[in-house]
């Protein structure tokens, strides 16, 4: 007798379908089903709204710091973007941890490290967008910074929801 798992029809009347070979596959819902379930949970939508509000405050902080550094202090626009990112990152972590995701039970250090990693990836994406907008499309620096931040927001939300502050 062979101990290998054998695929058997899930419904004999539907011969083209087969049952999963392991019980692990049976208990795990598909990604599409998980996404539909997540979209139906009001708590997820509330988190998205809160994330948007925190992001809006961080967006303002970022643009103010960028404008002050680049416009008043004469700092190169890419360096000003890095400074603005660091200040906004601190603002956003505090608000997202305590208000958006209410992740009080997790270790703040681990959450901060994950938040930082996600934010750096999103920032790298936005810095590429900023550079392309300024250098290739000749968009003014402050509007380009605003557009670049907006392009990275979805990446930032998903990364923080699913990794930094997961429950």
Over the chain, what HEC string results?
Answer: CCCCCCCCCCCCCCCCCCCCCCHHHHHCCCHHHHHHHHHHCHHHHHHHHHHHHHHHHHHHHHHHHHHHHHHHCCCCHHHHHHHHHHHHHHHHHHHHHHHHCCCCCCCHHHHHHHHHHHHHHHHHHHHHHHHHHHHHCCCCHHHHHHHHHHHHHHHHHHHHHHHHCCC
Q: What is the pTM of this model?
A: 0.65
Q: Which of residues 87 and 32 earns the better pLDDT score?
A: 87
Tell me the per-residue pLDDT of 87-143, one tens digit each, with 9 for 90 and over. Answer: 999 999 999 998 988 887 888 899 999 999 999 999 999 999 999 999 999 999 999
Tell me the per-residue pLDDT of 74-84, one tens digit each, with 9 for 90 and over. Answer: 999 999 999 99
Ranges of each domain in the chain: 42-164
Q: Indicate whether 40 pLDDT > 90.
A: no
């Amino acid at each position: 007798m062979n101990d290998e798992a054998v695929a058997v029809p899930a419904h004999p009347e539907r011969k083209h379908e087969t049952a999963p070979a392991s019980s692990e596959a049976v208990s795990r819902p598909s990604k599409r089903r998980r996404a539909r379930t997540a979209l139906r949970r009001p708590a997820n939508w509330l988190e998205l709204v809160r994330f948007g509000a925190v992001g809006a405050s961080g967006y303002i902080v970022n643009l103010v710091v960028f404008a002050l550094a680049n416009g008043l202090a004469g700092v190169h626009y890419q360096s000003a973007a890095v400074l603005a990112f660091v200040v906004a990152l601190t603002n956003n972590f505090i608000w997202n941890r305590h208000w958006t995701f209410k992740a009080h039970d997790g270790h703040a250090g681990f959450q901060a490290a994950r938040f930082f990693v996600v934010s750096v990836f999103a920032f790298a994406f936005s810095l590429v967008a900023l550079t392309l907008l300024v250098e290739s499309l000749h968009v003014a620096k402050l509007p380009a910074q605003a557009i670049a931040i907006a392009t990275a927001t979805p990446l930032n939300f998903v990364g923080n929801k699913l990794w930094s502050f997961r429950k």
